[in-house]
């Protein structure tokens, strides 16, 4: 399965072919004669259900309304997307907040324009038959995890918040692509994954119901995926960044109201695209992640400073941020949506 956006290390920059990449002359004209800025958005991974709003927004001409001719590109993990965005190899990125925090910690010149998945999809996923319904049920279990990724780094904090010791659960180091197979084959009792990603795929492959023990429902929440821009874009094209934020927010709001058509808009997006039933389940779960109690009822992508601080604190405790900075060093509030 996805060796996605979780690995937080020093990774070589991904070379991304872009339609714009910071070229001021990169414009096009719409069918109606409107001048549009060509913009590239690099995802955190190959397209899956979470990304439906971008394809729907493009199909429904929401980006065009904001003067943007959007090109959506597959990514190769959040860390690479963060670095490519900072380097100007893509105009904007869609990546996991832990990767952004780690990147800024290492001096990468990038900022968030707003986190859209504000409730973490981090979870222990297992088949219903395992009977893992509460954190206490994890005692004595073997869970597939990947050493060094955000899930494995935060799992001990999750256990601690639920009165368990790290020694109570065996985390079997497993390549990200092998975690689903480990559960299906019975080598592990469950896996550490994202409820909006692996679970629906595992359920589809095994034809067995999957249960989720979500971190967010058991005392531990932190920011997940959001929109990024490099410091160069923010310094020279802040107006374009502002339009991009508005277009992405409107696209998410529209997709939330029309999940079926939004998923259908992904048709042909990638040769690796999951089956439609999996895409629909992934997007259904994704829609449960859009807000915290601080932002409920507000437009998608409106962030709260306290939620940002909580996220920074969690990853400092997890050892993924060695030099925690102020919220403003990670989040460009000037360009961000106002609540």
Structural domain contains residue 131:
yes
How long, in residues, is the chain? 339
Q: Do 103 and 82 touch, CB atoms closer than 8 A? A: yes
Find the range with the poorest average confidence among 17-21, 107-111, 140-144, 268-272.
17-21
Q: Are residues 200 and 284 in the same domain?
A: no
* CA dist., res. 89 & res. 109, Å (int): 13
At 14, the pLDDT band (50, 70, 90 cuts) reads very low
Residue 163 and residue 178: Cα distance in Å, rounded?
29
Q: Is residue 67 part of a domain?
A: yes
Q: Are residues 313 and 196 in the same domain?
A: no
Q: Which two tokens stand for residue 172?
A: 């079997």
As a whole number of angstroms, the distance between CA 19 and CA 39 comes to 7
Cα–Cα distance for residue pair 108/127, rounded to 1 Å: 40
Cα dist. 43→74, 104, 194 in Å?
A: 5, 19, 16
Phi-psi category of 74—alpha, beta or left, where left has phi over 0 and alpha has psi -120 to 50?
beta
Q: Does 14 fall in a domain? A: no
What is d(CA 94, CA 107) in angstroms, rounded to the nearest whole number? 19
* 15 domain residue, yes or no: no
CA distance 165 to 159: 6
- The Cβ-side half-sphere exposure at 255, using a 13 Å CA radius, reads 31
339 lies in a domain?
Answer: no
For residue 338, report the phi and psi dihedrals to the nearest 5 degrees: -95, 135
157 and 238 in one domain?
no
Rounded to an integer, the average pLDDT of 168-172 is 98
Q: Residue 338, SS3?
A: coil
Q: Domain for residue 12, yes or no?
A: no
Q: Of 190, 217, 244, at which residue does a domain stop?
A: 217
Mean pLDDT score, 213-220 = 98
Domain count, the chain: 2
| 22 found inside a domain | no
- Per-residue pLDDT of 62-80, as tens digits, reads 999 999 999 999 999 999 9
Binned at pLDDT 50, 70 and 90, residue 7 comes out as very low
- Residue 229 and residue 91 in contact, taking contact as beta carbons nearer than 8 Å: yes
Compute, in degrees rounded to 10, the torsion defined by CA atoms 7, 9, 11, 13: 90
3-class secondary structure, 134 = coil
Whether the pLDDT of residue 5 is over 80: the answer is: no
Q: Does any domain span residue 146?
A: yes
User: Quick one: pLDDT at residue 17?
Assistant: 38
Is residue 174 domain-shared with residue 233, that is, in the same domain? no
By residue range, what is the domain housing residue 174?
A: 122-217
Q: Are 220 and 313 spatial neighbours (Cβ–Cβ below 8 Å)?
A: no
Radius of gyration of the chain (CA): 19
- The CATH number of whichever domain residue 209 belongs to comes to 3.40.190.10
From 182, 198, 217, the end of a domain falls on 217
Whether residue 115 is found in the same domain as residue 141: no
DSSP letters along 218-232, please?
TT-----EEEEEEHH
Rounded distance, CA 264 to CA 225, Å?
22
pLDDT for position 26: 87
The domain boundary, picked from 217, 252, 282, lies at: 217
Beta strand pairing status for 142-145 and 190-194? parallel
Banded model confidence at residue 164, pLDDT cuts 50, 70, 90:
very high
The answer to whether residues 195 and 238 belong to one domain is no
Cα 192–chain centre separation: 15
Strands (E), the chain: 27-29, 35-42, 68-73, 92-96, 110-115, 122-127, 142-145, 170-173, 190-194, 210-214, 225-230
Task: Judge if 240 and 101 occupy the same domain.
Answer: yes
User: Which pLDDT belongs to residue 289?
Assistant: 98
Are 139 and 73 members of one domain? no
- Report d(CA 323, CA 277) in Å as an integer: 42
202 and 293, same domain (yes or no): no
Pair (208, 252) in one structural domain = no
Residues 102-122: tens digit of each pLDDT: 999 999 999 999 999 999 999
Percent of the chain with pLDDT over 90: 89
Q: Which two tokens stand for residue 40?
A: 């590239």
| pTM, two decimal places | 0.91
């Amino acid at each position: 399965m996805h060796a996605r956006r979780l690995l937080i290390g020093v990774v070589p920059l991904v070379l991304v072919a872009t339609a714009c990449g910071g070229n001021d002359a990169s414009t096009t004209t719409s069918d109606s004669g409107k001048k549009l800025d060509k913009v590239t958005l690099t995802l955190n991974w190959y397209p899956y259900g979470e990304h439906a709003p971008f394809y729907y927004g493009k199909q429904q001409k929401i980006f065009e309304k904001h003067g943007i001719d959007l090109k959506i590109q597959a990514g190769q993990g959040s860390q690479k997307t963060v670095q490519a965005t900072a380097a100007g190899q893509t105009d904007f990125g869609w990546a996991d907040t832990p990767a952004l925090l780690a990147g800024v910690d290492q001096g990468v010149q990038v900022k968030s324009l707003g986190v859209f998945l504000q409730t973490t999809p981090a979870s222990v996923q297992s088949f219903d038959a395992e009977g893992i319904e509460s954190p206490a049920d994890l005692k004595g279990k073997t869970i597939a995890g990947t050493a060094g990724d955000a899930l494995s780094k935060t799992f001990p904090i999750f256990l601690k918040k639920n009165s368990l010791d790290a020694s109570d659960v065996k985390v079997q180091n497993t390549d990200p692509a092998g975690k689903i197979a480990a559960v299906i084959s019975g080598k592990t009792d469950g896996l550490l994954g994202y409820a909006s990603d692996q679970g629906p795929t595992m359920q589809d492959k095994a034809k067995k119901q999957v249960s989720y023990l979500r971190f967010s429902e058991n005392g531990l929440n932190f920011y997940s995926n959001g929109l990024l821009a490099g410091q160069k874009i923010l310094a020279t094209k802040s107006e374009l960044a502002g339009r991009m934020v508005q277009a992405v927010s409107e696209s998410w709001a529209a997709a939330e109201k029309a999940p079926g058509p939004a998923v259908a808009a992904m048709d042909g997006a990638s040769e690796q695209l999951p089956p439609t039933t999996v895409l629909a389940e992934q997007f259904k779960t994704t829609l449960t992640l859009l807000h915290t109690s601080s932002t409920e009822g507000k437009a998608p992508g409106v962030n709260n400073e306290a939620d940002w601080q909580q996220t920074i604190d969690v990853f400092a405790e997890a050892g993924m941020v060695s030099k925690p900075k102020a919220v403003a060093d990670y989040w460009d509030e000037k360009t961000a949506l106002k609540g």
